[in-house]
Amino acid sequence: MDVHSRDYAARARAILRDEPHVREAVIGATVAFDQHRERAYGEVDSDAWRAWASDVKSHALTNLADYLEEAESRLTENGVVVHWAETAADVHSVLEAVAADHGVRKVVKGKSMLSEELGVNDALERQGIEVVETDLGEYVIQLFGEPPSHIVGPAIHRSLEDIQELFHRVHGTPPHATPEDLAAAARVALREAFLTADMGITGGNFLVAETGTLALIENEGNIRLATSAPKVHVALVGIEKVIARWSDLAGMLQLTSRAATGQAVGTFVSMIHGPRRDGEPDGPEAVHVILVDNGRTGMLADEATWEALKCVRCGACLNVCPVYRQTGGHAYGWVYSGPIGAVLAPALLGLDEGGALPFASTLCGACTEVCPVRIPLHDMLLTWRRRTVEAGKAPATEGLLLSAYAAAAKRPALFRLGAAGLQLLPMAVTRRLPFLKSWLAVHGDLPWSKPSFLRRWKAGPK
Ligand code: SF4
């Protein structure tokens, strides 16, 4: 995917103008996700649980080198081949070598945001390897040729009609096939892929240092098949996914599920300890784990933003974000969207590419409120905004206008004079003012409030 976060505003405008159905579809899906989360949080002492989960992740991250080495030792003892990859190019090299060793021609993939971040599909396809996404949402967007729009629901921006038309074209299903018929058509195609693939690629939700356990949560059973049917399984695991103890895993899995989909736990949880052992009837002959940095060590060293590495990719912050809800993820121009995407982008891509995204927020703090690992997302958004301004990468007109506003807001007489002056302007002129034109373009020519807000404020509640 083309990564140009500087174009966020242009992309958001284009989606709102040209694809109004996206807003409707995204609002419908995110509201439903959030209602499920809210109910699931309400069933437990979610504040205490989230504080605990935040501590589990903090502990692992503040001792990361030790726990990664412990995880490597346990994985190796379990028969897993461990690779360390500093960059996306390193990951591609490992995949190329493993694929060559095993004569891989076809790969089935479980949903992995990290694989999207690393451009894994393109890298494999450049080697002539066929890649089939097996999560239903990922399968749909692969057929559309699109990147994911949401961490948990990659195709939430697509309507039923879109998918009916797609499957009619690709699979020959009836033009108005039911969702069940569409799922059945995908199942037929994906079964064939599972049975003929040489390699399965997945991410990993958690990696337990104490036992070398790779844990994966899902709802469709495709990850279980991708990790057991092909002769090789490769897991791409960000170094931040390690947790210290086996006894912490159950709580982390359950809380992640509650935050993501409102389930007490995902329908399938796979705990992978290594390749097929002697006498076992199934499972892969070889399991490889690639521990990926790709900028994470730099983030960890940054006092203001390291906590973003606690993220368990539940998508809850996207679901409540009033900005994300308007456009879905494609406006962000990168694999991670919404508040967590806006925090990760400048950290992992740099200010030139990611500096615009922290401004795609109302700073309402809803993201911080719902995060299962209590990442202070809105504080981090402010930090990145400040850094973008200090680096001279924010639009100069915005800085001037905000300085003028701040000066007036601190001087009531000046503020009143400015407000009175504005009201005298003809609407045709007001509509062209840089700080009002975008707002008025959406909301129309609203009349000035009479009496003014300040007068009403002074008068108090009636
Ligand atoms: S930042 Fe928090 S709420 Fe957002 S995806 Fe990550 S864990 Fe979930």
Å from CA of 408 to ligand 1 middle:
38
By the 10 Å C-beta count (0-12 exposed, 13-18 middle, 19+ buried), 159 is classed as: middle
Report which ligand 1 atom has the smallest distance to the Cα of 338.
4
Hey, whose CA ends up nearest to atom 4 of ligand 1?
A: 317
Closest Cα to atom 6 of ligand 1: 311
User: How do the pLDDT tens digits run along the chain, 462 residues long?
Assistant: 343 445 899 999 999 999 999 999 999 999 999 999 999 999 999 999 999 999 999 999 999 999 999 999 999 999 999 999 999 999 999 999 999 999 999 999 999 999 999 999 999 999 999 999 999 999 999 999 999 999 999 999 999 999 999 999 999 999 999 999 999 999 999 999 999 999 999 999 999 999 999 999 999 999 999 999 999 999 999 999 999 999 999 999 999 999 999 999 999 999 999 999 999 988 999 999 999 999 999 999 999 999 999 999 999 999 999 999 999 999 999 999 999 999 999 999 999 999 999 999 999 999 999 999 999 999 999 999 999 999 988 877 777 888 888 898 899 899 888 888 888 888 888 888 877 887 788 778 777 888 888 788 888 877
Please work out whether the CB of residue 312 comes within 6 Å of at least one atom of ligand 1. yes
Best residue among 34, 206, 312, 368 to mutate for probing ligand 1, ranked by most atoms within 8 Å of CB? 312
Instruction: Please give the distance, rounded to the nearest whole angstrom, from the Cα atom of residue 30 to the centre of ligand 1.
Output: 14
Ligand 1 pocket, mutate which of 256, 337, 373 (most atoms under 8 A from CB)? 373
Residue 420: predicted pLDDT: 85
Pick from 96, 99, 95, 128: which is nearest to 114 by CA? 95
Determine the 3-state secondary structure of 435 from DSSP. Answer: coil
The pLDDT value given to residue 454: 79
Tell the residue nearest (CA) to atom 3 of ligand 1.
371
Quick one: CA torsion of 156, 161, 165, 166, rounded to 10 degrees?
A: 10
- Residue 400 CA to ligand 1 center (angstroms) comes to 34
51: amino acid identity, one letter: A
pLDDT confidence of residue 172: 97
At 300 the pLDDT is: 97
d(CA 219, CA 416): 58
344 lines ligand 1 (CB under 6 A): no
373 lines ligand 1 (CB under 6 A): yes
Q: Are 266 and 219 in contact (CB under 8 A)?
A: yes
Instruction: State residue 6's pLDDT score.
Output: 54
Cβ 311 under 6 angstroms from ligand 1: yes
How far apart CA 80 and CA 98 sit, in angstroms, is: 13
pLDDT of residue 448: 82
Query: Would you say the CB of residue 57 lies under 6 angstroms from ligand 1?
Result: no
Question: How close is the Cα of 153 to the center of ligand 1, in Å?
Answer: 14
Identify which of 30, 240, 258, 313 to mutate to test ligand 1's pocket (most ligand atoms within 8 A of the CB): 313
- Determine the 3-state secondary structure of 243 from DSSP: strand
Identify whether the C-beta of residue 75 lies closer than 8 Å to the C-beta of residue 167: no
3-state secondary structure of 357: helix
Query: What is the DSSP secondary structure assignment for residue 273, as one 8-state letter?
Result: -
Pairing mode of beta strands 106-109, 213-218: unpaired
pTM for this entry: 0.90
